Structure 1
Amino acid sequence: MPENTSTQHADSDIVVELRAVDKHFGPLHALRNINLRVNRGEVVVVLGPSGSGKSTMCRTINRLETIDSGEILVDGAPQPAEGKELFKFRTEVGMVFQSFNLFANRTILDNVTLAPRKILGQSKTDAERRARELLDMVGIGSKAGSYPAQLSGGQSQRAAIARALAMEPKVILFDEPTSALDPESTQDVLTTMRQLAERGTTMVVVTHEMSFARSCADRIIFMADGAIIESADPETFFSAPSSERARSFLSSVH
């Protein structure tokens, strides 16, 4: 039937979907009935006050946090519970953390090539060629032979982005990637993220960087008290937020 074909086509464009997701930490209701779709090539920026559930939601997408109820799908497939399937699932969902999480005893090149070689089965030659391309792309090609301790925070974060890209994930999650950086390093990392957005990378970005949200987001998700309060394009959200909670938040950050 024509409507079924149309539905299948529309669903194929959805990379991440959260359906009625709830999460508790003891008595704290961290996520409340979260419903969200992220389309292929879309940049979704998640804003909200501290403690609103932004990072928790981000971490549930690749199952770093389990959920109490609801469902999360990536490219139409539900999250596996455990084992090899979950391991494979996580290779398809890139993650960039606040604290970089690089292996201190390995060079930057080794950090970027390790997972493609061990998990994807790439040859050393192919993995290193791709890694050097990615390190050049994020602006730290000259640091391939350095160790994490020899890099600035911004360089380390860009290395972490290259590492995530090396797995060719379906979506990359950014959990406040600039929160530990000085202003100059922050701008370097945001420039890299803007370049990814321009290349059509599917991204979910938890951040406090309003300039990035304004210029790069296709959609703003505003959260408070574990719930999604608003979902709007940047122009609408920043110029005419529909909720008092969002208006109060924007007043405080400005």
Structure 2
Amino acid sequence: MSDSVTSTHTVPVSTGLVALTGVNKHFGDLHVLKDINLSISKGEVVVVIGPSGSGKSTLCRAINRLEPIDTGTITLDGQPLPSEGKALAKLRADVGMVFQSFNLFAHKTILQNVTLGPLKVRKLGAKQAEQRAMELLERVGVANQAQKFPAQLSGGQQQRVAIARALAMDPKVILFDEPTSALDPEMIQEVLEVMVDLARQDMTMVVVTHEMGFARSAANRVVFMADGEIVEEADPETFFTSPTSRRAQDFLGKILKH
């Protein structure tokens, strides 16, 4: 990747695993995504940062159509996002999502939470789904919690289960929407360690986060958003040491002091 800051309008938007071209989104009179052009390559970790209300989470949710867009196109592996029906369900299977709140099914065990998607959507056999789920729970460090219910786990453990659940679908890309913001400080690191491990294994990831340490250590590219626009994007070293826009300079000046 080039060390120079790339203008968002020069990104080759048609070639990525995920590609957004001219994407606009309004909530009533509020223009939350303004002509977004972004391409994410296979195996790339893109961290999206910026002030609250800048459109980061809406961008993330648009990629798997949790938020429909007004204009523009979003493609996954060269195919436009379907709007409804079975094709949309298949898309959601290929695009994993990890939310701020863990969104686990409270009445199902940890193992059942992780096997549900593979059984219902991927049509795996029960034995195969359980074996894969246990491998993933082992990978994120909570295999010994498999028979418990979500309420019996800490927030950090629940979020690691949510990551295992996303991985169980063998997605092409995983979206993380501020995955540590609902956690107590001591639990944040255990979740970030799982995410760093995924990054090292070339998982394609789009991560909306306020964790600057993760952005510096795990991202291939940092995308800085403000007021619904991509203001700047660059590799982490370039972005954090010499941001070119005044908006990014001001943001980093405030956030890196804390």
Q: Distance in 2 between matches of 1:215 and 1:111?
A: 30
2:242 alignment counterpart: 240
Q: Distance in 1 between matches of 2:250 and 2:195?
A: 28
Cα 1:222–1:159 change in 2 (3 A) is: same
Return 5+ residue gaps in structure 2 as ranges: 1-11
2:47 alignment counterpart: 45
Q: Distance in 2 between matches of 1:248 and 1:13?
A: 32
2:114 alignment counterpart: 112
Work out which of the residue numbers 6, 17, 20 in structure 2 matches 1:18: 20
1:202 aligned to 2:211?
no
Q: Distance in 2 between matches of 1:116 and 1:15?
A: 22
Q: Distance in 1 between matches of 2:52 and 2:218?
A: 22
2:135 alignment counterpart: 133
Query: Which residue identity is paired with 2:219?
Result: A
Give the superposition deviation at 1:12.
9.4
Q: Distance in 2 between matches of 1:217 and 1:183?
A: 21
Q: Distance in 2 between matches of 1:39 and 1:238?
A: 22
Query: Which residue identity is paired with 1:88?
Result: K
Over 2 Å off, 4+ runs: 10-13
Verify the 8 A CA contact 1:108 1:148 in the aligned structure 2.
yes
2:62 alignment counterpart: 60
Give the superposition deviation at 1:11.
8.8
Q: Distance in 1 between matches of 2:114 and 2:121?
A: 12
Q: How does 1:94-173 map to 2 (within 5 A)?
A: 94-173=96-175
Give the superposition deviation at 1:162.
0.1
TM-score for both structures, normalised by structure 2: 0.93
Give the superposition deviation at 1:14.
1.8
1:176 aligned to 2:178?
yes
2:82 alignment counterpart: 80
Give the superposition deviation at 1:209.
0.1
Cα 1:150–1:30 change in 2 (3 A) is: same
Q: Distance in 1 between matches of 2:143 and 2:186?
A: 19
What fraction of aligned residue pairs are identical, expressed as a percent? 64
Query: Which residue identity is paired with 1:129?
Result: Q
Query: Which residue identity is paired with 2:114?
Result: V
Question: What is the number of residues matched between the two proteins?
Answer: 245
Give the superposition deviation at 1:41.
0.2
Q: Distance in 2 between matches of 1:73 and 1:227?
A: 19
1:4 alignment counterpart: none
Cα 1:28–1:170 change in 2 (3 A) is: same
2:35 alignment counterpart: 33
Q: Match of 1:103, SS?
A: coil
Q: Which has the higher helix share?
A: 1
CA RMSD of superposed structures (Å)? 1.2
Verify the 8 A CA contact 1:30 1:53 in the aligned structure 2.
yes
Q: Distance in 2 between matches of 1:100 and 1:78?
A: 28
Give the superposition deviation at 1:128.
0.3
Return 5+ residue gaps in structure 1 as ranges: 1-9
